[in-house]
């Protein structure tokens, strides 16, 4: 998948990979993959910022995400 330069830069700058590793250690499963179907720009916030905020919220609250991906789940756009 192509990731916009602004989103790629934001994820590198905010150490999203390390946050995803921490999420997997803490909850025993990976955080949903970044995609533009589930995470879209909101006002001045780029899609990666929305993604990062959800990931940080889960880690801060100590609860896994309750989001059901429209892109990566059962009966998703690709049906896998």
Q: Are 51 and 15 in contact (CB under 8 A)?
A: no
**Domain boundaries in the chain?**
5-61
**pLDDT of 74 over the 80 cut:** no
**pLDDT of 1 over the 90 cut:** no
CA quadruple 53, 68, 40, 7: dihedral, nearest 10: 60
Q: Are 16 and 55 in contact (CB under 8 A)?
A: yes
Tell me the pLDDT band of 72, cut-offs 50, 70 and 90.
low
List the structure tokens of 37.
């179907």
Kindly provide the b/e burial profile for residues 44-69, where b requires at least 16 CB atoms within 10 angstroms of the residue's own CB: eebbbbbbbebbeebbeeeeeeeeeb
Q: What is the pLDDT of residues 14-58, one digit of tens each?
A: 999 999 999 999 999 999 888 887 888 888 999 999 999 999 999
pLDDT recorded at residue 80: 43
**pLDDT of 64 over the 80 cut:** yes
């Amino acid at each position: 998948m192509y990731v916009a330069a602004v989103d790629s830069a934001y994820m590198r700058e905010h150490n999203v990979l390390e946050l995803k590793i921490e999420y997997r250690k803490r909850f025993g499963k990976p955080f949903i993959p970044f995609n533009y179907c589930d995470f879209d720009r909101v006002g001045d916030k780029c899609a990666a910022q929305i993604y990062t905020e959800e990931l940080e919220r889960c880690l801060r609250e100590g609860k896994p995400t309750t989001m059901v991906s429209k892109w990566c789940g059962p009966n998703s756009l690709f049906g896998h």
